[in-house]
Chains A and B, each alone.
Chain A
Amino acid sequence: MSTAAVAFKKDAVRLSADLRHRALIQGALSKYELKRDEKQALFQDWQGARQLAAETKWEAVNHLDTYLDQFVRGLEARGTKVHWASTAQQARDIMVGICREKSARSIVKSKAMTAEEIHLNEALEHAGFDVVESDLGEFIVQLREEAPYHIVFPAMHLTRGEIKDVFERKLHDAPSDSPEELTMVARRVLRQKYVQADVGITGANFAVAETGMVSVTENEGNARLTAALPKTMITLLGIEKIVPRLEDLALFLPMLATVGAGQLISGYNTMYGGPRQPGEADGPEEFHVVLLDNNRTAILADAEQRDSLHCIRCGACLNVCPIYRNVGGHTYGTTYPGPIGSVITPNLRGLQEWKHLSYSSSLCGACTEACPVKIDLAHHLLQNRRNASRQKPSFLQRMAFKLFAPLATKPWLWSLLVTKGGRFGQIFHGLVKGTRLDPAYVWTKTRDLPPIARQSFKEWWKERK
């Protein structure tokens, strides 16, 4: 097993038995589910909307070169400086370079998963800049010096008490544990940062090719302020964020909000097409857009899984995933957790090192059904497994199938060993259940084993005739 797999297994075992963690996550997500269902029901045709969204992203991703070119020309026409980065290192260097050139002291950042992906904060801090996250959830996890737990709800795993503690320790200001008062503490602290910051960094949810604009979705107004006050604004985004036309957002913005957070639409949806233009009251003097590849073109080259670049990072597949809900976001050890993370991480960061994520799925298909852009996540997990064992066949796996095949192809043998044998064995199972003598110990040490049905399907069928 790879080191990532060992760590994953250890944390997964610990967290899936942690009842407090489970209650917290189920509590947060059940509130989300109610709202999501309510908003989804307002669509006249949700399945139709998914199909249109999938077709729109298909068009964008399958003509990415043309649309990227159009996107960049639009931005440049309004005086935006566009940078291209093949690797995370290049993207970090570009952004550190801009901050140095501007002799920036403080930098304010609004939520960007791509920035997590390239470990931007570490790079900026290492270069001597003071970086502060402005999204409340990101601000909290930054204070706790940990990674976001979820791509939409970064601090979902924390109780108000834990948040109060970290505010007390780091900010020396936590009047109570009421969410209201804690939010106001953050507001006060961050307000000052905005006014002082020299550079503002944002991510983007969409890149509109037709008009050359980035579209940023948020609820707090922190990205709006990040794009309004500092003299220099930098937006970092993956090359796959493209949508062809401005009006495509009429479909994507409400869909993203519905499955992402159970909202009709998010609080602020803002399109930025350049720095402050002549005649405008304010806005940055300079606007830089950094386009990141970081192995996205490798996924693009795999026609079978190309649609995983359609992802709009709504988080819906995480929310419905029984694995995510039990092992939690940090266990994955990746920037993108949950089903989408398990699909793309092996392809972005190494199949053998990360294939365990594609195996840790029950293939229930809830993710595929939840995805607003119809990415076939469950099948992609299977394809990753196939690719991994094709690339590096496992001896154990092969032996297991060698034993299984004759059993499964001879009904009499199956009936004797599995059906009858299982029933017979279960009589004595109680004696060893849950102990190390139990042949089903891996299962029974933490779970119950339901009794085997009294009648098999085959027996039932015979009787029926």
Chain B
Amino acid sequence: MSERENILARVKEALTVAAPLPGSHHGAHAEPASLPTQEDHRRVLPLVGESFEERVALFAKNSDELRSDFKLLIDQSELVAALNKLRAAEGWTRVASHKGSLTDAACQALGLPVLLTDAGFDKTELEKCPVGISECDALVAQTGSVLVTSRSAGGRALSVLPPHHVVLARRGQLVPGLPEAFALVKQKYGADYPSMISFITGPSRTGDIERILVLGAHGPKKLTILCF
């Protein structure tokens, strides 16, 4: 027998005796009715606000606490201005990015040499880029997170290797909370999931030395979210 069969046989054998349900020591062996629904999750999780304005305000507040830089912009011209300001402030001479409608426009506006990750790339080159610019799948108000996948955001390394990650998003991409974000993932990719789905919440952080917060432990020291 293979180990797979051995382990599964032991599991099956073990499960012939029923276990008490959560919250009861004895008796009450009946199965719970069903797994929690999205409404059940919503009912217990933190509040997320009713309107778009409330949710944007919640996202902004969470970003602030996480030390992400979140900017809600009027239109694409403001986006270009915001990018150029960052470029001047940090002295970018080139950027890393991927193909996409928002990123293409941004890279064109910046007019700098671009390392595109889409068709494969040299990791030492990517490591030297001062910034990675990517799109995303959603912004999550409840947690201040950015949802990216290996398909929507230029692969796995682009959003974590350069010291600064700039995310471009549309207003319509803001979702209230995690239940809605997972529903979106299922609906968008259910037939064929990307190999990586990641919720990025704030710049890379650690508290491993005396529980004191330090940013940029491994991944980006800065996370900028530009939303229009």
Contacts and interface: CB of A to CB of B under 8 A. Distances in A.
Interface string A296-311: 0100110110110000
B156 A283 contact: yes
B179 interface: yes
A42 to B, nearest CB: 4
Given A54-B23, A300-B14, A69 B218 contact: no
Contacts of B40: 52
A183 B195 CA distance: 30
A254 B183 contact: no
Contacts of B200: 267-268
Interface in A38-54: 42-46, 48-49, 51-52, 54
A375 B187 CA distance: 34
Contacts of B6: 84, 86
Contacts of B202: 267
Contacts of B13: 301
B185 interface: yes
B86 interface: no
Interface in B132-166: 142-145, 150-151, 154-161
B69 interface: no
Q: Which of B23, B118, B155, B210 has the most CB of A within 10 A?
A: B210
Nearest to A74: B193
Contacts of A249: 178, 182
A58 B33 CA distance: 12
Given A52-B41, A221-B160, A224-B198, A251 B20 contact: no
Contacts, number: 311
B211 A28 contact: yes
Contact of A65 (B15, B43, B182): B15
B109 interface: no
Interface in B170-220: 177-179, 181-183, 185-186, 193-212, 214, 216-220
A195 B123 contact: yes
A186 interface: yes
Nearest to B159: A224
B82 interface: no
Contact of B199 (A49, A182, A227, A269): A269
Contact of B45 (A85, A163, A251, A275): A251
A145 interface: no
A60 to B, nearest CB: 9
A117 interface: no
Interface string B94-129: 000010000000000000000001111101100100
Contacts of A48: 43-44
Contact of B156 (A156, A224, A239, A293): A224
Contacts of A142: none
B23 to A, nearest CB: 6
Given A45-B43, A45-B44, A68 B196 contact: no
B150 A293 contact: no
Contact of A293 (B7, B118, B186, B195): B7
Contacts of A438: none
A219 B217 contact: yes
A43 B45 contact: yes
Contacts of B219: 220-222, 224-225, 267-268
Interface stretch (A99-107, A133-141, A443-451): A133-141
A30 B216 CA distance: 24
Interface string B55-91: 0000000100000000000000000000000000000
A81 interface: no
B207 A261 contact: yes
Contact of A281 (B21, B121, B124): B121
Nearest to B177: A250
Given A267-B204, A281-B119, A300 B11 contact: yes
Interface residues of A, number: 110
A31 interface: yes
Contacts of B14: 297, 300-301, 306
Interface string A6-48: 0000000000000000000001100110000000001111101
Given A221-B217, A254-B143, A281 B155 contact: yes
Interface string A79-106: 0000111100010000000000000000
B158, B183, B196, most chain A CB atoms within 10 A:
B196
A182 B116 CA distance: 33
A297 B217 contact: no
B160 A274 contact: no
A180 B44 contact: no
Nearest to A177: B209
A149 B150 CA distance: 34
B44 A246 contact: no
A361 interface: no
Contacts of A272: 195-196
Contact of B35 (A59, A62, A136, A239): A59
Given A211-B193, A282-B117, A282-B121, A247 B179 contact: yes
Interface string A251-279: 10110000001001111111111111101
A280 interface: yes
Contacts of A264: 46, 62, 142-144, 201
A265 B201 contact: yes
B22 interface: yes
Given A65-B12, A155-B209, A183-B209, A55 B32 contact: yes
Given A54-B23, A280-B150, A219 B38 contact: no
27 contacts: A54-B22, A55-B32, A58-B22, A136-B208, A140-B209, A153-B207, A155-B208, A186-B217, A187-B216, A191-B127, A227-B156, A228-B156, A228-B157, A247-B182, A264-B144, A265-B143, A265-B199, A267-B219, A268-B160, A270-B197, A270-B198, A271-B197, A273-B193, A281-B119, A283-B195, A301-B10, A379-B25
Interface of B: 2-4, 6-8, 10-15, 17-23, 25, 31-32, 35-36, 38, 40-41, 43-47, 62, 98, 117-121, 123-124, 127, 142-145, 150-151, 154-161, 177-179, 181-183, 185-186, 193-212, 214, 216-220
Pick the 8 closest A-B CB pairs, nearest first: A221-B219, A281-B155, A54-B22, A228-B156, A137-B208, A301-B14, A250-B178, A220-B217
